[in-house]
Chains A and B, each alone.
Chain A
């Protein structure tokens, strides 16, 4: 199996992780101004002859790669090469960063102030920093942080500046440029801007990829981008996007650099700034256009407590080592290297595997806060629960999470009850205690509200809370899929359970990070963990629930229940209401109002189906399963639904139809 090498089965608990240092501590004790003007002399990539941002631009414009495309475009369009060249120069002008130390120093000062106001601590694993420093000298480095907040890249640059490391250049979305001043500030602190979609624009692609590759080949600066493509509104990792990853790996494939180091960075927030904004957005309140005033309004945010934050730099991953035995680099021998080639299937699969591997590394080193466990439990009793019960269950869940390898930030020598109540108080906007009970906070208008409004407000709370639960999903995901397979399969034969597991895994592979082709490994890992915690036993060809396993298994099934229900509702909508001419634009509002209708009629309790994220993922899954077909007509995209097939997917999800047997020799 291709990905075997990338995902060797191992017990996640045995992972050793580094200790953290709080970088704000020193900021609280010494002058920010002096810090902003400190002597900054990062070690550079050994092959680097430093050059100015402007020199970089002219190198890109004169590169063979770009000239080749310019000539092609000119030949195809009939425009003179000079015109096309100007066009390329304009694209580059719009795109390129203008990294300068002055701006960095400005940010160093202001962000120090801001971070101190926002966060109790910003904890960084210094061993990771040391490894990074080493890696930066040896090979070009690509920084791959998780993306949960606008803060992410400011924080990254801030940390690198603090540790005297080379500042990264950062791929950012063009939407920032909407905010004139901020956009330019970001540009001067190393951001370069890419249009969100440039599908067939050959010239744009060429300028963009050559710009990135030139910086990488030269080792100009570490290149930073977000594999997830955009901020995750749900705090779940998003399916990785491959475009930029392809670009940064190509110089290695073509022998232009000896190696490329990929450094996954996990940025965990105790509270994300955008918390409730995200929930509203998912529920269909349009996202506020990034505008300077919008961000300034965020000033009031500064008065709030966002707890602590953890940044974990994973050990660098060498592309060369990953590619060993998987990529035949001599495939590039027969074409001049400046001629762009479509990546071979082998290469695409490889890049995809690497992307998943990196996202999983990000997940593994995400710090899980106690509140995440509390939120997880609260969501399983939306009507609220007794505080004492919550304490008990949290402590139980803590132990389970640890056993499953979660990177928990649980204070030593503090009673569980204290830990729980202090996290509740930090998140008092989400949960409140009245008497001996705790329940979700639902903000509502002062006056009377319509049933829709009430539903909507409730959904905001649930989705906000879910964004915390989502932070621990990766820990429980595989065992939970197995738990669900156990309850869905009408058999205890390993084979049947595996095929059920495989089906669920396939259905949810847009929802969660499930590496393609790693189904067997995932199954093994899930079995291993469930056996370890005593929830199931493996007997010859059977997987059976252990007597003591009920609690764990029911917790795990409940954990995924909202997704299962959500997907079923989407199916039901498609089956019952979708018309012949369902357009792409209609889909989300239509599913939403279908779900609202079900809610109001009392036949649906699940709120997460209202999330556009879930709706999109479910649709993508159905498209992948060939149950829904995307049809592109002149102006729009239509969805053609095979209702019988949808019905059967829905039934299978509900465990009413056994999954087709997929015989696997390995089992």
Chain B
């Protein structure tokens, strides 16, 4: 479907490109499209809302369009209708309004869940359950005089008190809210941030930068032991592209811009960054930098650390940035690498110069079926060896492949039925493929039409050597869709006693298989030992390839009926799974970061000397721990 054609005028490509993006993501809203805003922030202008600001897909009042106790847009969610069929509401996504007849069977079969057994969330946020803000009056007074907008409205605070870890969402659904930021500030530009940081230092206020709120490492959680007033610094209003440099193919962007807006705005000029983390609808540029994010298409565009050319960050010590935009420098350790992955502990990233690329002319999905996971991994390894990985290549295990089927819509012109196709195939081609072992790789190619087609052939030829058979574009596309709706699916599960989460790692090639098997088995075993009554879903995919290894992504979910403290059990199992990952040569994290969730393993991960290095940087930049979210160290 994704053919764009040969036309070369930028505008037309851009239009097409938008449709492509909308294709695997959502339907575009009717809102007007903002342009590039190439002007300086009017420092101290005293207006709360510069009138030349492009509208942002996520408003300041997040509660207006987003769920307070779940993932994403309030109007989009899965539910089981009266007939017991799965359905996805809203109008934003390709699945929106469609009926998913196989979802129920898969759901009940996989988890031993039952649509009769519901575990509904409390209907709305009980604001009286939230502790009143403890404000630092002097700070508030001085802040007022700067004209930077702020709020201590309860909903505003609760929205910025969490990310999307299971325990965070589970508590919210239960109506429990822990320590919240005492107020939220919305700087409009770099200079606003400088002022806020100065005031915070002056009045001893704790600052926690907030980007898109998609953290899955407890990074946004307020440390309960914090006694100072906590201010959430919401970067969402710093969302302009300040300039585009077509000669050097770079764009200078404010760090609060969220992924979908950044792509949309660049697309209008015929460009893209190509950085597409699965959370790109909501996560922000600053968040990516702060967590060392990774995008689906990193094989062409690189991860965030490959994309940044220049970073500006405001710290309690002052502003840190490099003096030029040279593409590579030998000037001692790269200071960008203190910033990348700093997780809001050192300061606020305010502006970033990023590499941009012309929008690719042509895009094509694909998929390959392998007789088993082992063969699939061998194929991906070969692809990596030959350095011919497509924009994205992901290998799903058998469970995930079946999971994908559960999302097959009833009537669909876009989705041909994989299973039906498979049955047909099965007789003719797949003979000897065991449906309980086969697994599927999904592919996304991008570039010149000609080259894409050549590239495609090359990859399919390699796949054939490992027993892989091409299985069509639709299956590929559906695989990618799955990763965009998975967070919505978790909300559905939680309505029926099913909780789950994903986690990831990176690991050398030779250990991929062993790690996948051992971690999945460890999960199953730990669940049993911890008294989980039903076998869990424990599945993985190899989601990125590198020269020397791969990124592996796990989904883990189980039915918690009969458990008195399901979240605790969940956390114990996840902990054990992480131990298993580390024991099998996997890393602490490939892209989700450390936050507070994985902090306990930092020392063994980077050695105590390494930890000391990071601490001394923290001590220098932020001796009073103004950026006191206590992540990482």
Question: Do B510 and A255 touch across chains, with their CB atoms under 8 A apart?
Answer: no
Indicate the size class of the contact surface on chain B.
Answer: 10 to 19
The interface residues of chain B lying within 8 Å CB-to-CB of A258 are 517-518, 521-522
Question: Do B517 and A330 touch across chains, with their CB atoms under 8 A apart?
Answer: no
Q: Name 24 A/B residue pairs within 8 A (Cβ), A-sorted.
A: A255-B511, A255-B514, A255-B515, A255-B518, A255-B583, A255-B584, A255-B585, A256-B514, A258-B517, A258-B518, A258-B521, A258-B522, A328-B583, A329-B583, A329-B584, A330-B582, A330-B583, A330-B585, A330-B604, A332-B585, A333-B585, A336-B510, A337-B510, A337-B511
> Chain A at the B interface: mostly helix, strand, loop or mixed?
loop
* Besides A258-B518, A328-B583, A330-B583, 12 new A-B residue pairs in contact (Cβ under 8 A), listed by A number: A255-B511, A255-B518, A255-B584, A329-B583, A329-B584, A330-B582, A330-B585, A330-B604, A332-B585, A333-B585, A336-B510, A337-B511
Indicate the size class of the contact surface on chain A.
Answer: 10 to 19
Minimal beta-carbon separation of B540 from chain A (angstroms): 15
The interface residues of chain B lying within 8 Å CB-to-CB of A329 are 583-584
Closest partner residue, chain B, to A217 (CB atom): B514
Closest partner residue, chain A, to B587 (CB atom): A333
Closest partner residue, chain A, to B584 (CB atom): A255
> Chain B at the A interface: mostly helix, strand, loop or mixed?
helix
The interface residues of chain A lying within 8 Å CB-to-CB of B514 are 255-256
Complex CA distance for A258 and B517, rounded to whole angstroms:
8
Residues from 221 to 267 in A contacting B, C-beta threshold 8 Å: 255-256, 258
Closest partner residue, chain A, to B514 (CB atom): A255
Give a binary string over B489-518; 1 marks a CB under 8 Å from any A CB, 0 the rest: 000000000000000000000110011011
Complex CA distance for A36 and B515, rounded to whole angstroms:
42
Complex CA distance for A330 and B580, rounded to whole angstroms:
9
The interface residues of chain B lying within 8 Å CB-to-CB of A333 are 585
B: residues with CB less than 8 A from A are: 510-511, 514-515, 517-518, 521-522, 582-585, 604
Q: Which of B514, B518, B582, B583 has the most CB of A within 10 A?
A: B583
Residues from 321 to 346 in A contacting B, C-beta threshold 8 Å: 328-330, 332-333, 336-337
Q: Which of B510, B517, B518, B582 has the most CB of A within 10 A?
A: B518
Complex CA distance for A337 and B583, rounded to whole angstroms:
13
Q: Which of A256, A258, A337 has the most CB of B within 10 A?
A: A258
Minimal beta-carbon separation of B507 from chain A (angstroms): 10
Minimal beta-carbon separation of A254 from chain B (angstroms): 8
Closest partner residue, chain A, to B511 (CB atom): A255
Complex CA distance for A258 and B584, rounded to whole angstroms:
10
Complex CA distance for A356 and B514, rounded to whole angstroms:
29
Minimal beta-carbon separation of B610 from chain A (angstroms): 15
The interface residues of chain B lying within 8 Å CB-to-CB of A328 are 583
Closest partner residue, chain A, to B585 (CB atom): A333
The interface residues of chain B lying within 8 Å CB-to-CB of A332 are 585
Q: Which of A255, A328, A333 has the most CB of B within 10 A?
A: A255
The interface residues of chain B lying within 8 Å CB-to-CB of A337 are 510-511
The interface residues of chain B lying within 8 Å CB-to-CB of A256 are 514
Complex CA distance for A160 and B514, rounded to whole angstroms:
30
Complex CA distance for A404 and B518, rounded to whole angstroms:
42
Minimal beta-carbon separation of B372 from chain A (angstroms): 10
Complex CA distance for A329 and B581, rounded to whole angstroms:
10
Closest partner residue, chain A, to B583 (CB atom): A329
Minimal beta-carbon separation of A563 from chain B (angstroms): 44
Q: Which of A330, A336, A337 has the most CB of B within 10 A?
A: A330
Minimal beta-carbon separation of A583 from chain B (angstroms): 48
Complex CA distance for A256 and B583, rounded to whole angstroms:
11
Closest 10 CB pairs between A and B? Answer: A329-B583, A255-B584, A333-B585, A255-B514, A258-B521, A258-B518, A330-B582, A330-B583, A256-B514, A255-B518
The interface residues of chain B lying within 8 Å CB-to-CB of A255 are 511, 514-515, 518, 583-585
The interface residues of chain A lying within 8 Å CB-to-CB of B518 are 255, 258
Complex CA distance for A333 and B586, rounded to whole angstroms:
8
Q: Which of B510, B515, B585, B604 has the most CB of A within 10 A?
A: B585
Complex CA distance for A328 and B583, rounded to whole angstroms:
7
Minimal beta-carbon separation of B588 from chain A (angstroms): 11
